[in-house]
Chains A and B, each alone.
Chain A
């Protein structure tokens, strides 16, 4: 009985890597991941900002891209546009309302492979307490061993969201109705 249990346990352990895509932790510790955004200022220029604090993980297997998954949790309080007074305004109920909605999350529901290294990540994005399905246009940038004994895979993704869709009143003018989100994600394979 004991032997059988051990055998099946070992079998499942051996079989596991083949059945499941590899799990990756997004490297926020070493800050090799970025959640950036840009929005038009008056229609004349781009304003860039980012969220400094977030965490997430993904599962990924190059051979079975469609089975991949990603989830991300962003601390909305960490918004940083390199201007303290503006960031204070962005945290206020006029925009992110961080006291009430401290987290923004993205959970993928479907991966749609495209040509070459490109793919679409469909998923639910929650911002300002509102959840909506969005599509992130993503591309695989590279993967391989790092110089410190780990294994990494990296991706870039971009999507646009309408502020009004997430119950953020657009007080910035017609050119600033949408925000482009740019994600740069490097994951370290979990051992």
Chain B
């Protein structure tokens, strides 16, 4: 079933960059909103948008995984060494897993008492209840440190892409810009 294609489709490219923007936005908003004062006008709205965007990200990521399963992965660039191919594969996998881990832990913080998550005021994502003791605290720690880890890896991912573009002058970045 896993066929390898030469380049990324338009859908893959658009989703990649949308996910990049949302992930950065979620990290920045999360980093900022935890220190908001009680009387800040953002105290309630920032978490609302943060959670809504998180659920949107979940949908996009599920779509990306399905797309990849159905359409196969894109073959590595032949000029890359085995080590680079292996490293980028592991990085991509970790980025995917990291995003899912952060979304799941975020969900577990907000739904620990049975309350649903309101998504853009359009619908409620129901709670699964308290699944384990100290859920909000444990999920909170996972959410925070996984987010730091993910953003570090994402920076590495971006730096690597720029390195391939400017130093190795290969198609690594270009094929994520043009189908």
Contacts and interface: CB of A to CB of B under 8 A. Distances in A.
B114 to A, nearest CB: 8
B135 interface: yes
A85 B37 contact: no
A93 to B, nearest CB: 12
A44 B110 CA distance: 25
B137 interface: yes
Contact of A84 (B37, B39, B113): B113
A84 B109 contact: yes
A83 B38 contact: no
A85 B109 contact: yes
A84 B38 contact: no
A88 interface: yes
Interface string B107-142: 001111101000000000000001000011100100
A2 B161 CA distance: 92
A85 B136 contact: yes
A174 B90 CA distance: 53
Interface in A130-186: 171-173
Question: In terms of DSSP, what is the predominant structure of the interface of chain B?
Answer: loop
Interface string B41-63: 00000000000000000000000
Contacts of B111: 84
B132 to A, nearest CB: 13
Contact of B38 (A85, A91, A171): A171
A67 interface: no
Contacts of A82: 113
A173 B43 CA distance: 14
A75 interface: no
A172 B137 contact: no
A85 B107 CA distance: 11
Interface of B: 37-39, 109-113, 115, 130, 135-137, 140
Q: A-B pairs with the 6 shortest C-beta distances?
A: A84-B112, A84-B113, A88-B136, A84-B136, A171-B38, A172-B38
29 contacts: A82-B113, A83-B113, A83-B115, A84-B109, A84-B110, A84-B111, A84-B112, A84-B113, A84-B115, A84-B130, A84-B135, A84-B136, A85-B109, A85-B110, A85-B112, A85-B113, A85-B136, A87-B113, A87-B136, A88-B109, A88-B136, A88-B137, A88-B140, A91-B137, A171-B37, A171-B38, A172-B38, A173-B38, A173-B39
